[in-house]
Amino acid sequence: MMIANRPHIERTILIFAIWGVLGFLGLGVFLEGMKSDLWPLSSAGVLLIVFAFVAHIIVNGIFKAEFSPGEAALGIGVYGILGLVFIVSAATGGLTMADYYSGLTLFGVLAVGFLAYLFTRHGLRGAFSRFHIKSIGAQEESL
């Protein structure tokens, strides 16, 4: 019996495996670094998360695919929730300096990586176009 959507299933399995191994290992190392107040250990966790993101991009390239809307929504949602938790923790004074630097490292590297991906994949104008929504009047004028 042949599966009709085999490349899609293989890509999905690879993506789950990548994030299941590198992503969760990176998250665990990052959290252990925050628990131990060791910025270098947290940075190693961030590096593992970056490796997972790069591996995801490589798999997308192999399968000639882009990030699915669900993957993009999950990534942006998790980034937003973690950012909110970090801001609330910093505002309430619950962070040590190592925790503060670890959080800044995580969010800074992920933001720069995301922008680098957009610029290299779509170009500067194309990256802006991915987020820019034209008004109805401007859409009608371009037709």
pTM for the whole structure: 0.78
Q: Would 1 be classed as within a structural domain?
A: no
Q: Would 34 be classed as within a structural domain?
A: yes
pLDDT at 141: 56
| Residue ranges, the chain, pLDDT below 70 | 1-5, 124-143
CA atoms within 13 A on the CB side of 3: 6
pLDDT at 138: 54
User: Scanning the structure block, which residue is given the tokens 């192999």?
Assistant: 62
DSSP state of 25: H
Domain count across the chain? 1
Nearest C-alpha neighbor of 122 from the set 135, 132, 107, 136: 132
pLDDT at 6: 73
For 113-128, letters b (16+ CB in 10 Å) and e give beeebbeeeeeeeebe
Structure confidence by residue, pLDDT tens digits, 41-70: 999 999 999 999 999 999 999 999 888 888
pLDDT at 123: 75
Distance of CA 30 to the CA centre of its chain: 15
pLDDT at 8: 83
Q: Would 43 be classed as within a structural domain?
A: yes
On the 0-12 / 13-18 / 19+ scale of CB atoms within 10 A, 83 is: middle
Q: Which domain holds residue 26?
A: 6-142
Q: Positive or negative CA dihedral for 43, 78, 118, 71?
A: positive
Q: Would 27 be classed as within a structural domain?
A: yes
Q: Would 30 be classed as within a structural domain?
A: yes
On the 0-12 / 13-18 / 19+ scale of CB atoms within 10 A, 44 is: middle
